[in-house]
Amino acid sequence: MPSLAVTVIGRDRPGIIAEVTRVVADLGGNLEDSSMTLLRGHFAWMLVADLDVAADDLAARLAHLREDDLVVSVLPVGRDEPYGTEAGYVLSVHGADRPGIVAGVTGALAAHGGNITDLSTRLGPGGLYVLVAEVSLPGDVDVVALGAELAELGRELGVGVSLRPAESDVL
């Protein structure tokens, strides 16, 4: 079966996940991978489902979600596209909020060929900013040197930055 990538974004309300997965199940599909979050009352969900229908057909079955001002997109996922990437490392950043934190640390990772495979940020009470990211690095990267570079960048940004090996795969 081909896989389809679906995104659903908009103001949160109960039942969005149930409605989308019911359509997928009714079409004989299987939910493979997904990631969902709420940001200030807004729902954002990306999923990949194994379905034997065209992207346009699934989009038509989900069109009713637009009545709630949800934005839905459905795209085919090529068979040659990887199912996932091993993270390898976890990047943690914490400290006082200020502009440029994410741009700085992700730019440093990108300069070494690092790829962010999962990212979560939160602005907490009192302006505490927290970033946690899963990172895949090329095998030839000097991880100790990169960690030192990130720590120095963190000092310049006024935040703590650490890069550590990821633990075994646990959701």
Domain ranges of the chain: 3-77, 89-165
What is the average pLDDT score of the chain? 92
* CATH T-level fold of 3-77: Alpha-Beta Plaits (3.30.70)
Contacts (Cβ under 8 Å, ≥6 apart) of 105: 91, 93, 131, 150, 153, 154, 157, 161
> Class of 89-165 per CATH?
alpha beta
Longest dimension (CA), the chain: 53
| Domains 3-77 and 89-165 equal at CATH topology level | yes
Tens digits of residue pLDDT in 41-68: 999 999 999 999 999 999 999 999 999 9
Query: What pLDDT, on a 0 to 100 scale, did the predictor assign at position 111?
Result: 97
Whole-model pTM: value is: 0.78
